[in-house]
Amino acid sequence: CPAPFVNAELYPPHGGQLDARFCAAPVPGLTCCLPCPISQWVFSSSFPTQVPAANWVAVPSFILTSLLLLTYAFLPEEKSHRHYLSIGLTVSLLLMSLAFIVPLSTRPHQCRDAITPNNMYTDMSCAWSGALLQAGAMGTAVWILLRSIWTALRIILDFKRTDLFRTVSLAFGIGFPALLLAIAMPVTGVSYRLWDVCIPNGTEAFVTWFVWLIVVAGLAGVILIITVGYCVWKFALSALAGSARGRMSSGSVGGPGKNSRRRAIGRRRRVEWGRIKRVLYLQWRTVVFAFIVTNETIFFALVFVSQTAAVQRNIGGITPEDEAWGICLIATGGDSDACLDQSSGLGLSEGRVVAVLLLAASLGATLSLLMIRTSMFEGW
């Protein structure tokens, strides 16, 4: 195989994620692979210096979520405003932050050999970071969904059976992410793909984990839209009731009986809108949380789909884009920067990958800052 490609026969299977090798057969009987990790070839030479920034961004997220949990644990409820929905979300954010922090301490080797990435069975750091990422991301989406459902129930149905909802929420918020983690880890596993935090393997991960993440986050977004739409509708009714009251006070319409009924309807609408405003004042954070998490999940989906497709597409043979890129790498002696235009055909965007890493690592800090209350500082 011409440099920088490596003959796969030189590295027989002996562990690692074999299906994550980036290989193709230019001629029958010869399989050539790009050296591991693949990120050094499809991205610019500055990518390895940009990725650690996401790991360090996770440190403030870990600190803030830890301080929040300490606040919930030691301060009285009137100061900490602790709630099981907030505690569950904070724990999930803490786990996701830890997924990015683990590589800072372990300095993992992404590759088993020259062409094979490590996986959860050949690298303990990979196993821990992958498990923490899956548990934290799914837990965050689930607790955001539960907060969205609770807000919708309070606003739309004036639901007050808090004990029932708490029992269901704790069972689902803890059990569902744990169940998916127990299925995804042994069935699909995790391995190094683009950076030093392991993610689920291959197309099977869509069924065992990623589709569920999209569904949960998307459902939270749909409930958010319905709730906001309901609030807008009630606001419009309240505004119309106010204008109708002004017309009735001028004596321009209706008789006494009709006016009294209209006043009763208008009064009821204003009372209902006042109740909704009070709930919104208490639950506005949930609306913001759902918006942020839904958008980040969709963004992460684009990167995950592109990465998986980039590895899987070579199974069907060499495409014209792959051939042009490979010829460029051979002609330039493995200069990936000179061949970035051709590598874009693989569907991987360096800027998008870096952005999604930074967003995911900073999610804990972002949501923690939104959950902080002035009473917490007073309590400490």
Write the DSSP string, 86-115: HHHHHHHHHHHHHHHHHHHHH----BSSSS
Q: Considering only CA atoms, which of 255, 93, 125, 143 is closest in space to residue 190?
A: 125
In a domain, 25, yes or no: no
CATH number, domain with residue 244: 1.20.1070.10
Can you give the pLDDT at residue 154?
83
Contact between 303 and 354 under an 8 Å Cβ cutoff? The reply is no
How would you class 369 by CB atoms within 10 Å of its CB: exposed for 0-12, middle for 13-18, buried for 19 or more?
A: exposed
Structural domain contains residue 36: no
| Cβ density class 170-180: b for 16+ within 10 Å, e for less | eebbeebbeeb
How far is 162 from 160, CA to CA, in rounded Å?
A: 6
Residues 6 or more apart whose Cβ sits within 8 Å of residue 204: 187, 188
Does residue 289 lie within any of the structural domains?
A: yes
Cβ-Cβ contacts under 8 Å for 368 (sequence gap 6 or more): 61, 64, 65, 67, 68, 90, 93
Asked if residue 312 belongs to a domain, the reply is: yes
**Distance (Å, whole) CA 111 – CA 119:** 9
Q: How many residues does the chain have?
A: 380
pLDDT of residue 98: 95
Q: Are 201 and 188 in contact (CB under 8 A)?
A: yes
Other Cβ atoms less than 10 A from the Cβ of 168: the count is 13
Predicted structure pTM score: 0.85
What pLDDT is stored for residue 190 in this prediction? 92
Q: Does 149 map to a domain?
A: yes
Strand, coil or helix: 27: strand
Show the domain range for 56.
Answer: 48-110+120-379
pLDDT at residue 335 in the model:
87
Does any domain span residue 33?
no
* CA atoms within a 13 Å half-sphere pointing along the CA-CB vector of 282: 14
Query: Does 2 map to a domain?
Result: no
| pLDDT score at 338 | 87
Which residues of the chain carry a pLDDT beneath 70?
238-283, 302, 305-318, 344-348
Q: What are phi and psi of 206, to 5 degrees?
A: -60, -40
Check residue 72 and give its pLDDT: 94
Query: In this structure, what DSSP letter does residue 380 have?
Result: -
Q: What is the CA radius of gyration of the chain?
A: 27
Whether residue 360 is contained in a domain is answered as: yes
State residue 263's pLDDT score.
62
Q: How far apart are CA 230 and CA 251, in angstroms?
A: 32
Backbone φ, ψ for residue 74 (5° rounding): -110, -20
* Residue 6 β-bridge partners: 33
pLDDT at residue 95, as a whole number = 96
Number of domains observed in the structure of the chain: 1
* CA proximity to 340, closest of 7, 40, 12: 40
Please answer whether residues 155 and 226 qualify as being in contact, where contact means their C-beta atoms are separated by less than 8 angstroms: no
Please report which helix (H) or strand (E) contains residue 371, including its range.
Answer: helix 350-371
